[in-house]
Amino acid sequence: MPSPEKIVINTGPILALVAALGSLDLLRNLYKEVIVPYEIGQEIMAAGSSGFAIKEFTEAAWLTKREQPVWPHPFLSNSLDVGEASVIQLALDEQIGTVCIDEALGRRVARLNNLKLTGSVGILLRAKKEGHPVLLKESLLKMRGKGIWLGKRVVDFALNEAGEKTEL
């Protein structure tokens, strides 16, 4: 049975959460285990020692960072980028029921594989609802400031759910 306490996370949400909060510590408060496929770690570290989010990713020693590549099913490899394909395949292989993906196509494919989904905005919203000191509007503005695209519908829904002003 998949554990709702575990999550497999993609590159986009890691970068978005660092942009929003300056760290990944919130994930540790929300999940018992956050699993990062080898391919995701490689994508993050590819930016070099001065790249965005490398410091925060490296300092998050509590993340379960896999050291072996994932071998995605050909359908996943041919449909998605390597990161999304590895997140979904790892979740399927290890019966982890929830993935964290922000990109629309990756989310659709995850749903087709009966996985539960969240994204960076969903994590921020959950944290706020659970009483963590998250200012959703401020976090979303910081994400946009780092060049992270956020759809208007997602932003409006999240701000409404959080009880914050509904425009950025």
Percent of the chain scoring above 70 in pLDDT? 94
In the chain, the number of structural domains is: 1
Mean pLDDT of all residues belonging to the chain: 91
- Is residue 82 a part of any domain in this protein? yes
- Is residue 167 a part of any domain in this protein? no
- Is residue 168 a part of any domain in this protein? no
Q: Tell me the pLDDT tens digit for each residue of 50-77.
A: 688 999 999 999 999 999 999 999 999 9
Q: Can you give the CATH number for the domain in which 157 is found?
A: 3.40.50.1010
Which residue's structure tokens are 């496929």? 37
Domain extent for 94: 6-162
**What single DSSP character describes residue 80?**
S
41 phi/psi in degrees, rounded to 5:
-60, -40
Read off the pTM: 0.92
* Backbone torsion region of residue 35, taken as left when φ is above 0, otherwise alpha when ψ lies between -120 and 50, otherwise beta: beta
- Is residue 126 a part of any domain in this protein? yes
pLDDT for res 2: 37
Smallest CA-to-CA distance from 8 within 93, 96, 78, 75 is with 96
- Is residue 113 a part of any domain in this protein? yes
- CA–CA separation, 48 vs 76, rounded Å? 28
Q: Tell me the pLDDT tens digit for each residue of 37-48.
A: 999 999 999 976
- Is residue 138 a part of any domain in this protein? yes
